């Protein structure tokens, strides 16, 4: 579908988002060339307001007949607001971060003279930089009367706030006089999405990221892609789909549209790569997780793309010694022993520990085995796995608690309660393994 043009010269009042044409250093004499700058944009679908009534009402079939004769309505679906026609842009519109700003620049020779050495330059001034958008910096040898020089510029908008398009034209008259003028076109770039993130640190070194994405524009968006690019230490798994009958189906349904002011939540699981997972000290201090890559489309297929900055989490503080669970059953029988596997890691990077394990019973959890046994020396950043046996005397969801590790060198005791939860059922109920 061809693009349509809208002239960037509309005067605006206070607070409007339509660009204002500004001229500085007014020319002392009339220029031979005229500069026009227009934004390239696509049309919108025409909408009408259907007016109808029942046949027994006074107008009878008059309103329905008028809608059937209206060329803007859809044949057979006249009461729908959406028609088959397109509407030309009525104003400059909005430009959002991540979209591509396209503009058509035309320099026309309004005089009856041949103009030489014409150079057209287009720069975009933002709050932090000035970019040259001209396709070519070479001068045109000559421009005959009623002829024009056309150029189309494109720029992916990567900053919000005020942008100024600076168009400068220089040329030489037949008399050899060098002429120069420029025009400024100011417009605002708005933020299309509001992105909020939350991190959840699991005991198994996994990190869960919840990304909340809200459409803060005034039109629906088609969310083409929302992905997480992890840092070099992690692998990522998207948790935004389910497996149904062997097919991967998105949790958002068949329609991927995000209506204005609606919010959608995306979930990702990051697991440390094997070469880093074995180094507890490295993973402990990792704060950079990765960045989100968001691609969407609006209206008639205009594409936008945003990449967040590197997302950072608050690194969990495990202390000098970390205890995590490697294996535990979900459901166990009442008063029957079950087994768990614990992993003990020396998070210190310098000091070797000599550890003693104590197991303290609670009102519902009873440990089986010898309490106060020596675990031996544990070198810096190294781990050991420990198989333990326990049973529960109370039904329901019970917390595994009561483990104590004592460092004999520093005489320091580390307490571990609410390590995990297990569902305890009556022995009459068969527990599936």
pLDDT tens for each residue of 362-405: 888 999 988 888 888 888 878 888 899 999 999 999 999 999 98
Kindly report, residue by residue over 259-314, the tens digit of the pLDDT. Answer: 999 999 999 998 888 777 666 555 555 678 899 999 999 877 888 999 998 888 77
Q: What confidence score (pLDDT) does residue 80 get? A: 67
Whether 433 shows a pLDDT value over 60: the answer reads: no
Whether 213 shows a pLDDT value over 90: the answer reads: yes
Interatomic CA distance for residues 389 and 402, integer angstroms: 13
Phi first, then psi, for residue 282 (nearest 5°) are: -70, -50
pLDDT band at 417 (very low <50, low <70, confident <90, very high): confident
Could you tell me if 106 and 120 are in contact, meaning their C-beta atoms sit under 8 angstroms apart? no
Q: What confidence score (pLDDT) does residue 261 get? A: 92
Q: What confidence score (pLDDT) does residue 23 get? A: 44
140-143 and 115-125 beta bridge pairing: antiparallel
Identify the DSSP state of 113. S
Residue 183: name the closest of 229, 270, 243, 122 by CA. Answer: 122
In sign, the C-alpha dihedral spanning 120, 121, 122, 127 is negative
DSSP assignment of 127-154 equals: SS-EEE--S--PPEEEE-TT-EEEEEEE
Share the mean pLDDT of the chain.
82
Q: What confidence score (pLDDT) does residue 269 get? A: 92
Q: What is the widest separation between alpha-carbon atoms in the chain?
A: 108
> Model's pTM, two decimal places?
0.65
Go through 26-51 and write b for each residue having 16 or more CB atoms within 10 A of its CB, e for each that does not.
Answer: eeeeebbbebbbbbbbbbbeeeeeee
Interatomic CA distance for residues 64 and 71, integer angstroms: 13
Domains and CATH numbers, the chain: 33-42+90-190 (2.60.40.10), 47-84 (no CATH), 195-315 (2.60.40.1230), 321-425 (2.60.40.10)
Tokens for 428?
């009459």
Identify which has the larger pLDDT, 126 or 68. Answer: 126
Kindly report, residue by residue over 78-89, the tens digit of the pLDDT. Answer: 666 677 777 777
Interatomic CA distance for residues 257 and 8, integer angstroms: 31
Kindly report, residue by residue over 339-351, the tens digit of the pLDDT. Answer: 999 888 887 778 8
Q: What confidence score (pLDDT) does residue 174 get? A: 86
Give the residue-averaged pLDDT of 109-124: 90
Q: How many residues does the chain have?
A: 433
Query: Phi/psi zone of residue 62: left (φ > 0), alpha (ψ -120 to 50 degrees), beta?
Result: alpha
Q: What confidence score (pLDDT) does residue 228 get? A: 92
pLDDT band at 166 (very low <50, low <70, confident <90, very high): very high
Q: What confidence score (pLDDT) does residue 391 get? A: 92
Give the residue-averaged pLDDT of 133-142: 84
Q: What confidence score (pLDDT) does residue 418 get? A: 85
What are the CA-CA distances from residue 54 to residues 59, 78, 176 (Å)? 8, 15, 76
Q: What confidence score (pLDDT) does residue 4 get? A: 45
Kindly report, residue by residue over 306-360, the tens digit of the pLDDT. Answer: 999 888 877 666 677 888 888 889 899 998 999 999 888 887 778 888 889 999 9
């Amino acid at each position: 579908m061809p693009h349509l043009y809208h002239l960037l010269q509309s005067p605006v009042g206070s607070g409007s988002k339509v660009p204002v044409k500004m001229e500085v250093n007014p020319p002392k004499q009339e220029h031979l060339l005229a500069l026009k700058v227009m934004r390239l944009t696509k049309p919108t679908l025409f909408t009408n307001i259907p007016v109808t009534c029942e046949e027994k009402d006074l107008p009878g079939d008059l309103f329905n007949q008028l809608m059937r004769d209206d060329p803007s309505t859809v044949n057979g679906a006249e009461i729908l607001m959406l028609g088959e026609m397109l509407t030309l842009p009525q104003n400059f519109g909005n430009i959002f971060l991540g979209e591509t700003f396209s503009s058509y620049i035309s320099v026309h020779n309004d005089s009856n003279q041949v103009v030489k050495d014409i150079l057209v330059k287009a720069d975009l001034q933002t709050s932090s930089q000035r970019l040259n958008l001209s396709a070519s910096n070479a001068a045109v040898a000559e421009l005959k009367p009623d002829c024009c020089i056309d150029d189309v510029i494109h720029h992916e908008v990567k900053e919000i706030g005020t942008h100024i398009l600076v168009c400068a034209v220089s040329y030489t008259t037949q008399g050899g006089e060098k002429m120069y003028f420029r025009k400024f076109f100011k417009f605002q770039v708005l933020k299309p999405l509001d992105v909020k993130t939350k991190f959840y640190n699991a005991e198994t070194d996994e990190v869960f990221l919840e990304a909340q994405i809200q459409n803060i524009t005034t039109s629906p968006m088609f969310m083409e892609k929302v992905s997480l690019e992890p840092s070099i230490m992690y692998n990522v798994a998207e948790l935004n789909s389910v497996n149904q009958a062997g097919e991967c189906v998105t949790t958002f349904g068949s329609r991927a549209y995000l209506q204005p002011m609606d919010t959608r939540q995306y979930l990702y699981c990051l697991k440390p790569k094997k070469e880093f997972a074995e180094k507890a000290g490295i993973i402990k201090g990792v704060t950079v997780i990765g960045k989100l890559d968001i691609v969407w489309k609006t209206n008639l297929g205009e594409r936008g793309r945003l990449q967040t900055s590197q997302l950072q989490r608050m690194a969990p503080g495990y202390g000098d010694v970390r205890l995590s669970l490697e294996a535990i059953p979900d459901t166990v029988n009442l008063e029957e022993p079950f087994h768990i596997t614990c992993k003990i890691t020396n998070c210190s990077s310098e000091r070797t520990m000599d550890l003693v394990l104590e197991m303290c019973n609670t009102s519902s959890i009873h440990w089986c085995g010898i309490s106060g046994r020596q675990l031996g020396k544990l070198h810096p950043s190294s781990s050991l796995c420990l198989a333990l046996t326990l049973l529960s005397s109370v039904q329901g969801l019970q917390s595994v608690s009561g483990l104590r590790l004592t460092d004999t060198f520093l005489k320091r005791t580390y307490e571990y309660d609410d390590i995990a939860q297990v569902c305890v059922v009556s022995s009459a109920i068969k527990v599936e393994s």
